[in-house]
Structure 1
Amino acid sequence: MLGRCPTGKRPHYTRKDAKNAAKRHKGGRRPIPYTCDECGLWHIGKPPPALARGEIARDEIRQHRYDRRRVLGEDA
């Protein structure tokens, strides 16, 4: 098993591993895989609210082509 990321989340070496972990997730909305800014590996997590609102596409999340603060509703 891999160690923990500095963020405290469980890392996955590949997107495929992260997708498989997301499929095994029970309860609520299925998490989506994304690359971590801290460790560079893959994690799974809740989709940002902007995805549900249609402001960004899944492809943008995967490639980090969006303004995280705007999407996550954080103050600048």
Structure 2
Amino acid sequence: MQYVAVFITVVLWFGIVISPTLIGAILGVLLGQGSGFIELGVTLGASVGFIVGISWSEKIRNTTGLINFWSSLVSARDSKN
């Protein structure tokens, strides 16, 4: 049963890390197109985004908790009955 808990934690952790990585890669494409270095822009942008994502995910894991963070994102507070 512990394997399942570790797997869920890893998936939630990577879910937080991937969003700044994708944003950095997209910004790298946009900035790289102007200078002609798209590959370099994507690599640098994704690297910076990955580092930011790691620090953000670790901050969330140590303060709020990964499950509490994701449950607050997914919960539908504005639904009307």
Where on the TM-score scale, by shorter chain, does this alignment land: which range? under 0.3
Greater C-alpha radius of gyration: 2
Give the strand-richer structure, 1 or 2.
1
Q: Which has the higher helix share?
A: 2
TM-score by length of 2: 0.22
